[in-house]
């Protein structure tokens, strides 16, 4: 049995656009998501975050529920345009006040605030002015915004997550074209990703220069993988998958370099590399002082060789109709295939708790840094039974197995800081709407009062926290 450290951060996570609502309240500026979600056909069932869970107006009720659940930590993101409505320039004091109220209330309730600086809601002004992440100017502007947050909240916030899943928002925005700005361009994908790595590095260094007491890192969406067979072709596919995928994303943040074999691959495709030599000095300097790796873990992948005339990137299941996800890959290198050994969710995400242990052990071997699980959870259709209860035993089973996997990873030497479930309340899923629910607290999106109802998993997690992981 695993002994979780007594300071282990048991918590839950959220993101501003997915919960806050109040999109134009108190001087908030427009973000790219405020615009994108209102374009015809961009989101599932035309959903948007204009109201979401209305957390901006109901944060007191939400924090009271967190207290009731006994959360030790709560991860949320700051909306850049509440602080700087145009991305740069004049600070909106009402935005600062809101996050001060939230942070203070969390601390009063013994809940450690974990703050994400960027969870995808780029100021629209910067997109219009210089195409946002496509321009290196963003690195400067992002770092300036981060410093404002450090100055305003850094006396009380001890854990900072600079970027949330830079690999996902650049891939969805510049390869798949399903997130803003809706482009399909591999070179731009590499360029924008590189700018996120630079923004992360400059921000980490700025934080350290300010001498504040706390820890800083970024959260990468990490999907560990297995090869479908032990054939040389499939093993080679697995190596390509890692070098072009997880190691590309993580090495740049946590080693200050990119895998050589992936650089060779892109160069062979005549794709221009976006970096300058001097960039690596900054990235390496940050990698030396960064405190932890954040990972968002949902699933593993199974990878097989993909012939040159094989499948390309395909769209994914956003409806919750199980079995509609198609194979996807890079011709000539690899493709992801269905893993016959495990179950899938209704959105065709592989349920693989041991993959979390395996992934954590891989990260420990490659980077040897403390790790924070900044997201893990199950998206499901929940129903309210006639007695008003939400009996989400499937979510309890999912989380229990993943917490056991954390324990196993700790037993194998992984230094795990904490475990944030995704999410505390139900919230808006960017592309899947309101019906894909993740929370411990049900939100009745059908009613105007957005009533909160704790689910069965809420009470279960409370016991887990109370017993420091013993009562699973």
Please state the closest distance from residue 296 (CB atom) to ligand BG6, in A: 5
**Binding to ligand BG6 by residue 296, rule CB under 6 A?**
yes
- For ligand BG6, the binding residue among 379, 418, 433, 454 (CB under 6 A) is 379
Region of 106-114, 163-171, 188-196, 249-257 interacting with ligand BG6 (CB under 6 A)? 163-171
**Binding to ligand BG6 by residue 426, rule CB under 6 A?**
no
> What 3-state DSSP class applies to 421?
strand
Q: How many CB atoms lie within 10 A of CB 400?
A: 16
Q: How far apart are the first and last CA of the chain?
A: 11
- For ligand BG6, the binding residue among 432, 437, 439, 450 (CB under 6 A) is 432
Contact predicate 309/235, CB 8 Å: no
In terms of DSSP bridges, do strands 371-375 and 416-422 run parallel, antiparallel, or are they unpaired? parallel
**Binding to ligand BG6 by residue 170, rule CB under 6 A?**
no
Please state the closest distance from residue 378 (CB atom) to ligand BG6, in A: 10
In terms of CB distance, is 224 or 256 closer to ligand BG6? 224
Where is 198: in which H helix or E strand? Answer: helix 186-210
HSE toward the beta carbon, residue 325, CA cutoff 13 A: 21
- Give Cβ neighbours of residue 101 (< 8 Å, ≥ 6 apart): 59
**Binding to ligand BG6 by residue 53, rule CB under 6 A?**
no
Give backbone dihedrals phi and psi of 433, rounded to 5 degrees, phi first: 75, -155
Please state the closest distance from residue 49 (CB atom) to ligand BG6, in A: 11
Region of 66-74, 326-334, 430-438, 448-456 interacting with ligand BG6 (CB under 6 A)? 430-438
* CA gap 81, 148 in Å, rounded: 13
Contact predicate 351/345, CB 8 Å: yes
92: closest CA among 125, 115, 140, 62?
125
Output DSSP code: residue 163.
E
**Binding to ligand BG6 by residue 442, rule CB under 6 A?**
no
Known catalytic membership, residue 30: no
452: closest CA among 462, 465, 437?
437
**Binding to ligand BG6 by residue 430, rule CB under 6 A?**
yes
Bin 110: left if φ > 0, else alpha if -120 < ψ < 50, else beta.
left
**Binding to ligand BG6 by residue 375, rule CB under 6 A?**
yes
Catalytic residue from among 375, 404, 412, 463: 375
In terms of DSSP bridges, do strands 334-337 and 301-305 run parallel, antiparallel, or are they unpaired? antiparallel
In terms of CB distance, is 178 or 187 closer to ligand BG6? 178
State the angle between helix axes of 186-210 and 246-254 in degrees (0 to 180), rounded to the nearest 10: 30
Region of 329-337, 382-390, 427-435, 462-470 interacting with ligand BG6 (CB under 6 A)? 427-435
**Binding to ligand BG6 by residue 15, rule CB under 6 A?**
yes
Report CA torsion sign: 63, 64, 66, 67.
positive
Please state the closest distance from residue 76 (CB atom) to ligand BG6, in A: 11
Please state the closest distance from residue 430 (CB atom) to ligand BG6, in A: 6
- For ligand BG6, the binding residue among 436, 437, 452, 462 (CB under 6 A) is 436
In terms of CB distance, is 306 or 318 closer to ligand BG6? 318
**Binding to ligand BG6 by residue 222, rule CB under 6 A?**
no
Region of 50-58, 86-94, 334-342, 429-437 interacting with ligand BG6 (CB under 6 A)? 429-437
In terms of CB distance, is 194 or 436 closer to ligand BG6? 436
Q: Which residue is nearest to ligand BG6 (CB)?
A: 429
User: Which residues carry out catalysis?
Assistant: 375
Rule CB under 6 A: which residues touch ligand BG6?
15, 18, 164-165, 168, 221, 296, 375, 379, 422, 429-432, 436
């Amino acid at each position: 049995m695993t002994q979780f450290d007594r300071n282990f951060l048991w918590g839950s996570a959220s993101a501003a656009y997915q919960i806050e609502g109040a999109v134009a309240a108190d001087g908030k500026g427009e973000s790219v998501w405020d615009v994108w979600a209102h374009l015809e056909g961009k989101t599932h069932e035309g959903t948007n975050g204009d109201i979401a869970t209305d957390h901006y107006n109901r944060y007191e009720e939400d924090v009271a529920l967190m207290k009731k659940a006994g959360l030790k930590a709560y991860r949320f993101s700051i909306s850049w345009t509440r602080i700087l409505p145009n991305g740069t320039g004049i600070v909106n004091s009402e935005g600062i006040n809101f996050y001060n109220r939230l942070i203070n209330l969390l601390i009063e309730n013994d809940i450690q605030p974990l703050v994400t600086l960027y969870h995808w809601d780029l100021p629209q002004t910067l997109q219009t002015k210089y195409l946002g992440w496509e321009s290196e100017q963003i690195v400067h502007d992002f770092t300036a915004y981060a410093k404002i947050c450090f100055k305003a909240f850094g006396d009380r916030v001890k854990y900072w997550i600079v970027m949330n899943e830079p690999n996902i928002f650049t891939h969805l925005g510049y390869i798949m074209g399903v997130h803003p700005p809706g482009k399909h361009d591999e070179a731009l994908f590499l360029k924008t990703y590189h700018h996120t790595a630079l923004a992360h590095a400059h921000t980490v260094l700025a934080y350290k220069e300010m001498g504040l007491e706390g820890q800083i890192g970024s959260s990468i969406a990490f999907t560990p993988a297995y090869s479908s067979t032990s054939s040389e072709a499939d093993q080679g596919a697995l190596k390509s998958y890692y070098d072009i995928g997880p190691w590309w994303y993580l090495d740049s943040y946590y080693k200050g370099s990119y895998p050589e074999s992936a650089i060779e691959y892109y160069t062979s495709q005549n794709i221009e590399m976006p970096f300058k030599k001097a960039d690596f000095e900054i990235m390496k300097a940050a990698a030396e002082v960064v405190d932890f790796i954040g990972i968002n873990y949902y699933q593993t992948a199974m990878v097989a060789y993909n012939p040159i005339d094989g499948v390309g990137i395909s769209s994914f299941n956003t409806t919750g109709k199980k079995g509609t996800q198609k194979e996807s890959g890079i011709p000539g290198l690899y493709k992801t295939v269905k893993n016959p050994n495990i179950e899938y969710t209704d959105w065709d995400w592989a349920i693989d708790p041991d993959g979390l242990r395996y992934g954590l052990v891989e990260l420990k071997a490659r980077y040897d840094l403390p790790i924070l699980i900044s997201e893990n959870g199950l998206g499901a259709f929940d129903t309210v039974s006639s007695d008003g209860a939400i009996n989400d035993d499937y979510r309890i089973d999912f989380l229990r197995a993943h917490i056991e996997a954390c324990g196993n990873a700790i037993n194998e030497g992984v230094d795990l800081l904490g475990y944030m479930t995704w999410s505390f309340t139900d919230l808006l899923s960017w592309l899947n709407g309101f019906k894909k629910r993740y929370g411990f607290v049900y939100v009745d999106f059908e009613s105007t009062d957005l009533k909160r109802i704790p689910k069965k998993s809420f009470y279960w997690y409370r016991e887990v926290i109370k017993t420091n992981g013993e009562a699973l």
